């Protein structure tokens, strides 16, 4: 009952703040542009070119094209918007006068935090499902290739969002400030995580110090690996298999650690 109420209020807040509307409009706009693009005559030419290597190559190229399209768009636009909209949830809940009423209700503090986390992740799941299903249906209908493993990306992207949001939630609890928590999280997601994912080709070619390499490696292992997980998702969709599950395991461990810290911090804090 409490979870249902918190879920409902989270979704309602997103709708009322017009954030969901903004995300759906953006998705609709991109999908509309893609529809225009795939109906161009020149696309037929591209299709013929892609099919020159035979049916299997054609199939692989189409799946790769769809996966990359989704990866770039979801990562740069939808994740960015989702993180922005979700950043204010915790700080606004902690505002004086609002947190007082909430904590006077017969709900345990861990339950409040976990319900908030799950309701935001659920909302992200709905938005990502809408986006991924639309792209999949559109490309598949045009190409005639219905690659069902592509839909697993809904779960992968929801998991990546959950990992990122867990950190966002923790920062929101500690700083009680939307802008600061968002800035730190986006900084870790985009520049830091992206550079650490390719540290051997970038940082390690510039630095010889063993100590610096150790620090960089240490950061890589403790921070969430959004970019590695994205690569992992594409490889699984293409059926290439996964070299190592380390990025998945360490990122999920990061998420559970950060959620535990959030619960502990929230449970002990005076408001």
Partner 1 sequence: MPIVDVKKLTKQYPAKNFSKDKITALNNFSLQVEPGSIFGLLGPNGAGKTTLVKILLGITFPTSGEVNIFEKPVTDISYKFKVGYLPENHRFPNYLSGEQVLSYYGRMSGMADKEVKIKIPEMLSLVGMSDWAKTKIKKYSKGMMQRLGLAQAMINSPELIFLDEPTDGVDPIGRKEIRDILLNLKNEGKTIFLNSHLLSEIELVCDKVAILDKGTLVKMGSVEEITSGEDSYLFHTNDLTDSLVNDLILKFKVVMHGKNEFSYATSSIEDVNNILDFLRSEKVLIFGFNKEKTSLEDMFINIIGKQTVN
Q: Which of 185, 262, 260 is nearest to 226 (CA)?
A: 185
Identity of the residue, 2 or 198, whose beta carbon is nearer to partner 1 in the bound complex? 2
Q: Which of 152, 171, 168, 161 is nearest to 226 (CA)?
A: 161
Identity of the residue, 17 or 256, whose beta carbon is nearer to partner 1 in the bound complex? 17
Identity of the residue, 99 or 219, whose beta carbon is nearer to partner 1 in the bound complex? 99
Instruction: Please give the Cα distance from 126 to 209 (Å, whole number).
Output: 46
We find the least distance from the C-beta atom of residue 98 to partner 1, in angstroms, to be: 4
We find the least distance from the C-beta atom of residue 131 to partner 1, in angstroms, to be: 25
We find the least distance from the C-beta atom of residue 97 to partner 1, in angstroms, to be: 4
Instruction: Please give the Cα distance from 170 to 144 (Å, whole number).
Output: 45
Q: Which of 204, 77, 216, 70 is nearest to 140 (CA)?
A: 70
What 3-state class would DSSP assign to 130? helix
We find the least distance from the C-beta atom of residue 86 to partner 1, in angstroms, to be: 16
CA angle 101, 264, 8 (to 5 degrees): 45
Identity of the residue, 91 or 224, whose beta carbon is nearer to partner 1 in the bound complex? 91
Instruction: Please give the Cα distance from 183 to 169 (Å, whole number).
Output: 13
DSSP for 255-268 reads: HHHHHHHHHHHHHH
We find the least distance from the C-beta atom of residue 115 to partner 1, in angstroms, to be: 11
Identity of the residue, 214 or 271, whose beta carbon is nearer to partner 1 in the bound complex? 271
Identity of the residue, 86 or 166, whose beta carbon is nearer to partner 1 in the bound complex? 86
Instruction: Please give the Cα distance from 224 to 164 (Å, whole number).
Output: 7
Identity of the residue, 112 or 131, whose beta carbon is nearer to partner 1 in the bound complex? 112
We find the least distance from the C-beta atom of residue 175 to partner 1, in angstroms, to be: 16
Cα end-to-end distance, the chain, whole Å: 25
The residue ranges that bind partner 1 (CB under 8 A) are 1-2, 4-5, 9, 12-13, 16-17, 95-108, 268, 270-271
Q: How many residues does the chain have?
A: 271
We find the least distance from the C-beta atom of residue 256 to partner 1, in angstroms, to be: 25
């Amino acid at each position: 009952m409490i979870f249902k109420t918190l879920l409902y209020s989270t979704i309602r807040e997103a709708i009322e703040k017009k954030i969901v509307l903004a995300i759906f409009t953006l998705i609709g706009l991109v999908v509309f542009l893609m529809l225009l693009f795939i109906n161009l005559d020149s696309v037929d030419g591209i299709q013929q070119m892609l099919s020159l290597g035979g049916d299997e190559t054609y199939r692989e190229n189409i799946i790769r094209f769809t996966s990359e399209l989704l990866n770039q768009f979801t990562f740069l636009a939808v994740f960015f918007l989702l993180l922005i909209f979700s950043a204010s949830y915790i700080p606004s809940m902690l505002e004086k006068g609002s947190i007082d009423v909430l904590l006077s209700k017969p709900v345990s503090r861990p339950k409040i935090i976990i319900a908030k986390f799950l309701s935001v992740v659920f909302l992200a799941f709905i938005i990502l499902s809408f986006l991924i299903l639309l792209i999949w249906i559109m490309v598949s209908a045009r190409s005639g290739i219905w690659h069902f493993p592509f839909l697993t990306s809904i779960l992968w992207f929801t998991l990546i969002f959950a990992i990122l949001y867990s950190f966002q939630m923790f920062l929101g609890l500690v700083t009680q400030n939307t802008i600061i928590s968002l800035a730190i999280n986006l900084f870790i997601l985009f520049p830091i995580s992206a550079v650490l994912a390719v540290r051997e080709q970038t940082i390690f070619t510039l630095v010889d110090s063993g100590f610096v390499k150790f620090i960089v490696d240490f950061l890589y292992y403790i921070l969430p690996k959004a970019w590695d997980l994205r690569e992992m998702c594409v490889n699984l969709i293409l059926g290439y298999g996964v070299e190592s599950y380390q990025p998945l395991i360490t990122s999920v461990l990061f998420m559970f650690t950060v959620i535990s810290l959030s619960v502990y911090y929230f449970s002990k804090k005076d408001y």
